[in-house]
Structure 1
Amino acid sequence: MSKKKNMAIDFQDNMILLTRKYLKRKIMCPETKFRHHVNERLHVMNLVKRTVEIGESNSVLLVGPRGSGKTTLVNSVLKELSALKSFKDNAIIVNLHGLVHTDDRLALKDLTRQMQLENVVEDKVFGTFAENLSFLLDCLKSGDKHRSKPVIFILDEFDLFCEHHNQTLLYNLFDVAQSAQVPICVVGISCRLDVMELLEKRVKSRFSHRQIFLFPGDTSSSEQPMSAFDDRLELFRDLLSLPDDENVNKVEQQYDDCTIDPQFGSMWNDYIKSLTTNVTMVNLLKRMYHIDVSERSFRNFLAVAVSTLSEKHQKLEVNDFVEASKIFSQDDKLLILEGLSILEMCLIIAMKQETEIYDGEPLNFEAIYNRYMKFANQNSSVQSVQKPVIMKAFEHIKNLEILLPIGNTNTKFEKEYQYYKFTLTSQQVIEAVKNYSGLPTEVSQWASSSI
């Protein structure tokens, strides 16, 4: 009996360690399953496939804010296509990154390495970048002089390549793509929404002008639409679930050292599902989502929680997620507010009140000044301050990007009447007031007073 009991304990311990390993890989390797931007992903896949299958040259820019899934989308496309023998045997993928390849010489050197043509180039001297690139691409031609190996160029941080001298690399890549000399597909990835404006005229004329925009929370799916937070809750369940009976074989092929017992997996998944209905857990996830919608941060948070699993700690408790969230739920804007003066905090509260009264409409200095003065005149304990000093405090808040300008900001417009969008939520202001030590009672009461 004792031997059987020990075997059961060893089995359970082993399952927990395998679960931890499997979940961490699943969470930290998002390209294994790409969930969002269905139409955009299909668009990129079709462009790349046409380059490889029919020799069609293409160029495209993938644009969106950081954390919107641009690089993950491209990686997932390449991962799926690489499973096809025709793609794997024929296509060459060249990855260039604007932060690493800071000039065209470095980019060309790494491009040569990734295309495995160092021995061919050796000590050859080329007059221009174009001659060098043309020679490299010619080397890829097979026996049939009209047939060349297709090359997929991935240019991450694309906007940084625009800073290279004369944009030579971009000009030549787009020129090759436009003239269809050899089949290439240039995929640029950038978080600059105005990236097209950075291209020189001669470069822009050779670009296809094909842009694909990604935005966080945009699923682009034909399925029944769900709220952004419901989608986050679904991601929570999906990332922490173990493979079911149908998928266990796929997992064994992908992670041959993570074979998990289906019965154990079923019990684990039932428990994870119960967490998605736990009030404390749901409120925690909501609070984190309001602070940061980035999926990357969310995955990092889950990885920290999963790391707590061990032979002695075999269950993910709600408290494990609460503790993990403390690392990620620091609101940067609240930290900025802690350093403000009392006058600046008063102006922040006035902005909160103004935004609530006018339902999120833009505000200007005059409106905030009048609201603050009304409060100051009603409270004798609040020291009166001259208008230029209040304007200085307002400017400081603006410089912290708590206020974002709207519309025309040229000098013809008097700065007192320039409109701004207030970027803080009411909850953030109330939280900042609570954390502010030494704030007069009247100011605290003003912040929490209902309009």
Structure 2
Amino acid sequence: HGRRGKRKASAVRVDEAKRSTEEEQRPPSSRRARVGRRSDQQGGSGGVSKPALRKFLQILRRRLLNDERGRKCRESSEHFQESCEKLDNLIRSTIIHGTNNSVLLVGAPGSAKKEVLERVLGDLLAEFNEEGKSASVGVVRLSGLLHSDECSALREIARQLCDTWDLNFLKSASFSTNLRFLREILSELDKGHKTVIFVLDCLDLYTTKQKQGLLYNLLDALQGSQAQAAVVGLSSRHDCLELMEKRARSRFSYRKVVTPAPPPEEGIRVLKELLTVPEGSAGDDGLLSGSDPSLQLSGERDEEEVKAFNREVAAMLCSEESKAVLDRFFKCNATIYTVEQLVLGLICSMDGSVSTLTLPMLRAACGSMSVTTLVKQGLQMSVLDLTMLVAMQRLEKRGKESYNFQHIYKEVESLRSADQRFGQEAALESYVRLVEQKFVETIGDHRRQQEFRPSRLLMMGCEIERIIAGHPNCPESLRRSAANIFL
């Protein structure tokens, strides 16, 4: 029996050696192909296979890069609909009742101001302008970035008015000629019951010009001709009207349409929508239909995998840990552009790891996008500069909207530990340095001494918290003091 067992064992070893030799003699491409087929047959995660996962990610990527998808996500917001309704009522009253109107459309960058305006203008032009006939409503668009000079702005106004109503445009016309043409055509449009809408993008840039000639001449021409005209100014600054000179401000109404920044809940809702694969086919909403036959989903197996993928993503985003990460991330910025960048990062993470969404992927994507330029600079600042930022954040938590250097230094004295002492001169140098680097902004009368001039912080609490968490030389006592602020 012992000899027979030894012979069987030796025979097994010989067979294994033969198989390994044959495997080594085969070309590497065939070995990789067989390994790839075996791995592809295994599920990427849960009930989703790796080929199906790659197809789903390609579908999500194409839907994300389609402008129509982003527009639909914006227009589904309640705040978007409210802003559109307010602006539509103001401009519509100008068209119907023949009154002059001016309105300021204001909101933070990324709050869909231009989308609101384009939606309203598109609906009004489609309603009041008839194809094949002279336009009843015309739009003139100016930008403070492109037409900041008064002469070029009036020339652009004349060119767009001539294009809208098929008039001859004189390129070599002088400033006075274009201004006279503007007054005359407004009078003629009033006789023909036609309306012109002036759109001034980046309105705050026009207020930086000396004497603000364009604003005054345009508003004065509208007021003097009694034409059916509306002026819509777009700006990210809520104090834009206060920046106008008195003669221009008196001719501009105080009507405002505010497009609020999206709340965190809106960002989470759009994120879920953009990470959901449509059931039925890749082009269920008409965005990708016919774009690529390989992306079309058919068969029960595909439908089951789509449901499994959407179920896993929804479960991941609905978990308490994910909600905490997303709520913290979207409190800083929940605009559609931020959500789209986050979705693109998550798609790349899932594609690289060939698995569905996980919590580490979500944390890594949110963390990489939260590192702003100020955070990168803050990670290299001195301990004194960091202490000054924490002191200012503590003052703001107590309800102070502005504070001078003396207030900040008293707070720094309360934060210092036994082994760290900062002199007043060194603290003042740190304060001046923070102002120069745009971490802090001075306000009020600039004739005051530097240490008595009111100032305010230009950073959010979440950015300071990230700096403290990642700073290599931050003292432990300062970390504890900052932790009490951000509780």
Q: In the alignment, which of 194, 205, 209 is matched to residue 254 of structure 2?
A: 209
Structure 1 residue 319: deviation in Å?
5.9
Distance 1:447 1:198 in 2: 37
Q: In the alignment, which of 113, 116, 127 is matched to residue 84 of structure 1?
A: 127
Distance 2:177 2:297 in 1: 60
Structure 1: runs of 5+ lacking an equivalent? 218-227
Q: In the alignment, which of 94, 105, 109 is matched to residue 62 of structure 1?
A: 105
Query: Radius of gyration: which is bigger?
Result: 2
* Equivalence for 1:282: 323
Q: After superposition, where does 1:3-402 map in structure 2 within 5 Å?
A: 17-25=58-66, 26=68, 28-29=70-71, 33=75, 35=77, 36-84=79-127, 86=129, 90-115=136-161, 116=163, 120-122=168-170, 125=173, 127-137=176-186, 146-163=191-208, 166-179=211-224, 181-217=226-262, 228-241=263-276, 251-252=285-286, 257=290, 270=311, 272-306=313-347, 321-322=362-363, 324-350=365-391, 358=398, 365-366=405-406, 368-370=408-410, 372-373=412-413, 379=418, 381-382=419-420, 384-400=421-437, 402=439
Seen in structure 2, the aligned counterparts of structure 1 residues 121 and 403 have a Cα distance that, compared at 3 Å, is closer
Distance 2:216 2:156 in 1: 18
What code does the residue aligned with 1:386 have? G
Structure 1 residue 371: deviation in Å?
5.4
Structure 1 residue 71: deviation in Å?
1.9
Distance 2:62 2:252 in 1: 44
- TM-score by structure 1 length? 0.72
Structure 1 residue 433: deviation in Å?
3.5
Deviations 1:116-159 (A, max 9, x none): 168612468564332122355567x5xxx832432222110012
Structure 1 residue 24: deviation in Å?
2.6
| Structure 1 contact 31–73 (Cα < 8 Å) conserved | no
Distance 1:125 1:422 in 2: 48
Distance 1:34 1:431 in 2: 33
Task: Name the SS of the counterpart of 2:318 in structure 1.
Answer: coil
Structure 1 residue 234: deviation in Å?
2.0
Distance 1:425 1:77 in 2: 34
Task: Name the SS of the counterpart of 1:62 in structure 2.
Answer: strand
Distance 2:125 2:290 in 1: 22
| Structure 1 contact 51–57 (Cα < 8 Å) conserved | yes
Seen in structure 2, the aligned counterparts of structure 1 residues 242 and 77 have a Cα distance that, compared at 3 Å, is farther
- TM-score by structure 2 length? 0.67
Identical-residue share of aligned pairs (%): 21
Seen in structure 2, the aligned counterparts of structure 1 residues 103 and 323 have a Cα distance that, compared at 3 Å, is same
Seen in structure 2, the aligned counterparts of structure 1 residues 12 and 301 have a Cα distance that, compared at 3 Å, is closer
Structure 2: runs of 5+ lacking an equivalent? 1-40, 42-49
What code does the residue aligned with 2:136 have? N
Seen in structure 2, the aligned counterparts of structure 1 residues 134 and 403 have a Cα distance that, compared at 3 Å, is closer
Distance 2:431 2:173 in 1: 60
| Structure 1 contact 129–168 (Cα < 8 Å) conserved | no
Seen in structure 2, the aligned counterparts of structure 1 residues 405 and 77 have a Cα distance that, compared at 3 Å, is same
Distance 1:243 1:80 in 2: 29
Larger proportion of helix: 2
User: How many matched pairs?
Assistant: 421
Distance 1:83 1:198 in 2: 35
Distance 1:351 1:163 in 2: 30
Distance 1:266 1:84 in 2: 42
